[in-house]
Structure 1
Amino acid sequence: MKVNSIGKGLKSSPVRHESPLLSISPFGKDFRAVLIFPGTYSIASSSLAFHQIFRLIGQHPDWSCERAVVEPSSPTRSIELNRSLDEFDLIAFTVPFESGYLQVIEALLSSSVPVYARERGPGDPIVLMGGIAAAANPDVMAPFVDLFLLGEAEASLPAALEKIALLLRGGCPRSTVLEECVNLPGAYVPSIQGDQPLTISFARTQDMDAFPPCSGWLSPETEFDNTFLFEISRGCPCGCRFCMIRLSQKPLRAVSVDRIMELVGQLPLQVPGVNGEMERPRIGLVGAAVASHPQFEEICSRLREEGWEITASAIEIDKVTDGILDLLAESQKTLTLAPERGLESERYRLGKRISDHHLLDVARKAGALGMPRLKLYFVCGIVAPEFYGSATDSPGAPLNLPDWLSDLTDFDAYCEQIFNHEADAVADLVDRLTEVFQPQGQPGTIGVTCSPFIPKPHTPWEAWPMAAEKGLKQLDRILKKKLGQKPRVRYRPISAWESIQQGILSQGGRNLAPYLVHMVRFPEERRRIVREIIETSLVQIHERRWQNQDSPWAFIHL
């Protein structure tokens, strides 16, 4: 039975347009699991982790698996059979972003499953959570989760499923099941290990060919219309000091070319679109550093030879060759790059060793090949003086700061100087790129996204302060003024409020639990609650804080 033939669990079910690539049934297994994504169906189906975990659970001999997404003002029920959450033995959440924490709580509150782990009894499902956000700092969600799996699902989930099924089949009580899970790869059980657990190491797979992460279904109702997503490499060789990917996904690993071609060769050549017309799916090559795959150009070449249209996630600028650009330009309309900073010197300072010359050269060649759109990502709002200054020879002496950063007595004035500096640098780089990015001799469209700096766990800058909401709104106004009037430049506004909320969820601990539940129950009070959290210093995101040993995530070893 094909899972998409049911699809009762959504108000208007987009699964009617799905083309399943896996033979997974919600029937016929001893135990039931539901995999929940904290977002809409469109976003969930665009998440490769959602596909991969559905595959890992659904293909296990003991477990049937259904999917669910979190829709506003609607109880969370399974898509396949419209089951309520209390009908499952295991509720698994995959959470890629901190904003999903509130939707996890919302899903539990909409069901009869107690929201707090301590209130669950013998008849309640086990609530499991994984995903990069939860793995970075599980402490903030510890009051709600029975079992965390920290690290990569391929290296932790099969063993957990095996252990839980074995214990449930033997009639073990819920408490015993959780006790026995403590020693599983990447496992963290808050109720057993408390708030001072032993060091827990990230689980990692060594063989990417064994469980290649790729789409389990195709759908025209996703962020990537009927695109077969394939994570061809995992890890990142870049050293960006604000990003945890290099540490959390080390070392760089790749799926072999033969394995990629084998799985692509099993794809249907025609699938239905939104209006029922048949179309050929595309191939989406995914990875934190997708072009760092040692045979990336060969992969692109072989896929194009077989007639597939290909797209790739953000390409590392230093890995872009003429051959790669030629191949991508045949079917991809947008080239996505992440310079991160407008100034070359600051790019190097944060760990992105990309020269202006290289960046401009790639943009020039992409335009010459006819690619009509360039998408750029920057990180702004870095207010720590260490980023702009240099140390002196005397220990404890003030930093040597640049001339433009003169006013350190008035924090608002200090931040305004930084925001103007950042906006000027981004605008200048965009102007230079506009001059060279000329598809068919005409100015191309350049999209600009400036994400506020948010201190993330397990990064060299985890203790740095982030700009306040007022400051981020000011930064957005300055960027809008500098970029918004430029022809063919599409500036994506900063969401100051969302950034502050993400900062709190990223850095917070289990003491936030009652506040998070209140935010979900009373959405109209979210801003007040966030202000209260900041003003009472429950989470100190606007000041320099701990260094790793005192942080809520200190027990995690990457």
Structure 2
Amino acid sequence: MTRTAVHTEHPLIEMSPFGKDHRSVLVFPEPYSIASSNLAFHQIYRILGQHPSWSCERAVVESNQKVLTLETGKPLEEFDLVAFTVPFELGYLNVIKALDDCPIQLYADERTDEDPLIAMGGIAAAANPAVMAPFVDIFLLGEGEASLPPLLDLLAKRRNDGYTRLSILEEAAQVPGAYVPIIHGEQPSPIRYARVEDMDEFPPCSAWLTSETEFDNTFLFEISRGCPCGCRFCMIRLSQKPLRAVAVHRILELVDRLPREIPSGRGEETVRPKVGLVGAAVASHPDFEEICRRLREKGWGITASAIEIDKVTDGMLDLLSESQKTLTLAPERGIEAERYRLGKQISDDHLLQVAQRASELGMPRLKMYFVGGLVAPEFYGSDTDRPGAEVNLPDWLKGLEGEDYHDAIFHHEAEAVANLVERIAEVFQPKGKTGTIGVTCSPFIPKPHTPWAGWPMAPENGLKRLDKILKKRLGKIPRARYRTFSGWEAHLQGLLSQGDQRLAPYLFEMTRHPEK
């Protein structure tokens, strides 16, 4: 099925898996549809395959299928370099599965000169590489555009010179952003994250178009990287600061190279690609509205990822509504004061104004993202993250302990989200259409290197109760569509985001016996 989907792709760059001295495979630890929606997968594929010494093929991990490359059906062990890009911690299990399903030695310290080098990048690895250190030869921490080219140069030269595996890894440890566990030991500190200074030099955009993805035949373009916000729970503030933007002329130059019509992937018909503007803070691009206007003037349909609510303007919505049917917003909390506590300076009034304007423009769908399960007393009883600060709980939490304490918070969170969604529903009524409001509430997971890294997670059974409360409460709102979450998966992600090498044998056992 996956290789069949590849035949419907429309490539945007010239690549060949043949004719170069060294061969690499880029693996995404999820199915093809998710991989093709991930811009990092496109960008790293471009860097690998356009290097003068390296060819590149792609592979994805599908259920109950051996991991073979999309281009030629080769197994991973036939390549010199096997690179994984992993955006989320739960992907670690599929990385181990992919390695365990082939003759490559699973543990890095058991590999010989005959085995491929195993590399890994992505924001999950950047946050905490320790969990996967027993399985990976080289981590690239930070932005691959800065660290991958010098690593490829080094690997190609040293392999040509006949260097041993250990000698190559010793030199690879000097590459900016590289963490080599066998050389650096258990702790990657003080390795610095690699960053791209000039986004115009490596503009991240789609390397192929496909209908087999959530973004149907959409040319994705990361127009900015980083985020000026200071959300207390978010990794972006660590790994992608400061905000950097691609120049307007560079964006237009690359979009102008797109074909005006491509095969739809569904029979004989053709379609016109759309342009998807993405970024952690896409509307914080200093020229975001101009980019939208210029693209619309050229006749391109445009969409944008979640837009910072405080940056939304009427002009911006006017331009997006011409081709985008869904507006995605992330207020994170149902109560204004709690949003400010998170680091999101968003008032209820502005949020309602944005929803109403989207409704007036006829956008039929609104998506809203929240974070729940915040059980740390400091969140409700202090205005500082300073350790040891006095905590003065509100009356509705005083004297409560255990499940009673947690349930009071869960009901508080659910009621706050539902009340806000009800207010949104009153103003979001697109003329002649039944406007729907999608609601996603993700459990709070403490992430390394963030101000709230040491805060507790809600217990797994508590998260199940929160999910049930949200489902029941939001189910009373006619046009709300609530997406449930898994408390078990949230806790596993939390464990992987803060764990270390001691988890390795348990992860291996989970991939072998997932039913347990």
- TM-score bracket for the superposition, by shorter chain length: over 0.9
The alpha carbon displacement at 1:484 in A equals 1.3
Q: Are residue 451 (structure 1) and residue 434 (structure 2) matched?
A: no
Higher mean displacement: 223-232 or 440-449: 440-449
In the alignment, does 2:516 pair up with 1:515? no
Amino acid aligned to 2:299: G
Question: In angstroms, what is the RMSD of aligned CA positions?
Answer: 1.4
The amino acid across from 1:406 in the alignment is K
**Per-residue deviation at 1:399?**
2.0
31-40 or 493-502, which deviates more = 493-502
Counterpart secondary structure, 2:251 = helix
2:337 alignment counterpart: 345
Code of the residue aligned with 1:162 in structure 2: it is D
Q: Name the structure 2 match of 1:302.
A: 294
For residues 418-473 of structure 1, the C-alpha deviation after alignment (integer angstroms, 9 at most, x for no partner) is 00000111011011111111211665211100000000111100111101110000
Q: Secondary structure at the match of 2:133?
A: helix
Structure-2 change in CA distance of 1:440 and 1:497 (3 Å): same
Task: Determine whether 1:370 maps to 2:359.
Answer: no
- Structure 1 letter corresponding to 2:238: L
2:86 match? 95
The answer as to 2:267 corresponding to 1:268 is no
1:85 Cα deviation from its structure 2 partner: 1.0
SS in 2 for 1:178: helix
C-alpha contact (below 8 Å) 1:282/1:308 kept by paired residues:
yes
TM-score by length of 2: 0.98
CA distance in 1, matches of 2:166, 2:390: 55
Query: How far apart are residue 272 of structure 1 and its match?
Result: 1.4
1:227 aligns with 218
Aligned residue for 1:191, secondary structure, equals helix
Separation in 1 of the partners of 2:203 and 2:2? 32
* 1:407 shift after superposition: 3.4
Number of equivalent positions: 513
- Alpha carbons of 1:91 and 1:467: their partners in 2 closer, same or farther (altered >3 Å)? same
Amino acid at match of 2:377: P
Deviation at 1:12, TM superposition (A): 5.1
Q: Deviations over 1:35-83 (max 9, x none)?
A: 0000001100110000000000000000000000012222211111111
The corresponding residue for 1:552 is none
Find the aligned partners of 1:283 and 1:118 in 2 and give their Cα distance: 45
Partner of 1:476: 467
Cross-structure match for 2:52: 61
Letter aligned with residue 197 of structure 2: Q
Select 2:312's aligned residue among 308, 320, 334: 320
CA contact (8 A) 1:448 1:489 kept: yes
2:238 matched to which residue of 1? Answer: 247
In the TM superposition, residue 187 of structure 1 has moved relative to its aligned partner by 0.5
Whole-Å separation in 2 of the counterparts to 1:427 and 1:391 = 25
**Please, which moves more after superposition, 203-212 or 274-283?**
274-283
Letter in 2 for 1:524: E
1:19 aligned to which of 10, 25, 31: 10
What's 1:5 paired with?
Answer: none
Letter aligned with residue 422 of structure 1: E
Deviation at 1:390, TM superposition (A): 2.6
- What is the distance in 1 between the residues matched to 2:189 and 2:482? 46
Answer with 137-146 or 437-446: which moved more.
437-446
The AA in structure 1 aligned to 2:272 is: R
- The corresponding residue for 1:79 is 70
Aligned-partner Cα distance in 1 for 2:3–2:60: 13
Question: Aligned AA for 1:385?
Answer: P
- Name the residue aligned to 2:193: 202
Partner of 1:388: 380
What residue is the counterpart of 1:411 in the other structure? 402
Deviation at 1:397, TM superposition (A): 8.3
* Mapped partners of 2:372, 2:118: distance in 1: 37
3-state SS in 1 of match to 2:453: coil
Alignment partners' CA distance in 2, 1:106 and 1:85: 12
**Alignment-mate amino acid for residue 147 of structure 2:** S
Task: Tell me: CA distance 1:76–1:301, structure 2 relative to 1, closer, same or farther (3 Å).
Answer: same
Q: CA deviation at 1:391?
A: 7.0
| 1:182-234 Cα distance to aligned partner (Å, 9 max, x none) | 11010000011111444010000001011100000000001110000000000
* Aligned counterparts of 1:407 and 1:331: Cα–Cα separation in 2: 53
Amino acid at match of 2:234: C
- List per-residue Cα deviations over 1:493-545 (Å, max 9, x = no partner): 121121111111111101000000000001111xxxxxxxxxxxxxxxxxxxx
Structure 1: distance between partners of 2:289 and 2:278: 14
Contact 1:437 1:443 in 2 (8 A): no
Q: Alignment identity in percent?
A: 68
Q: Is the 8 A contact 2:126 2:239 kept in 1?
A: no
Who is 1:130 aligned against?
121
Amino acid at match of 2:380: Y
- Structure 2 residue runs of 5 or longer lacking an equivalent are none
The alpha carbon displacement at 1:367 in A equals: 0.5
- SS in structure 2 at match of 1:435: helix
Structure 1: 5+ residue stretches without partners: 1-9, 526-558
Identify the residue that residue 39 of structure 1 maps to in structure 2: 30
C-alpha contact 2:5 2:212 (8 A) present in aligned 1: yes
> How far apart are 1:485 and its partner, in Å?
2.3
Question: What secondary structure sits across from 2:431 in the alignment?
Answer: helix
Whether the 8 Å contact between 2:9 and 2:265 is mirrored in structure 1 is: no
Q: Which residue of 2 aligns with 1:334?
A: 326
User: 8 Å contact 1:407–1:413 — kept in the other structure?
Assistant: no
Answering whether residue 349 of structure 2 is matched by residue 357 of structure 1, we say yes
Q: Which AA in structure 2 matches 1:456?
A: K
- Residue equivalent to 2:421: 430
Deviations 1:250-272 (A, max 9, x none): 11000010000000000011111
Deviation at 1:398, TM superposition (A): 5.6
Scaled by the length of structure 1, the TM-score of the pair is 0.90
Q: Supply the AA of the counterpart residue of 1:253.
A: R
Q: Secondary structure of the equivalent of 1:297? A: helix
* In 2, Cα distance between equivalents of 1:46 and 1:157: 21
Match for residue 286 of structure 1?
278
Q: Is the 8 A contact 1:391 1:398 kept in 2?
A: no
Match of residue 439, structure 1, among 430, 440, 451: 430
SS at match of 2:55: strand
Q: Which amino acid aligns with 2:130?
A: D
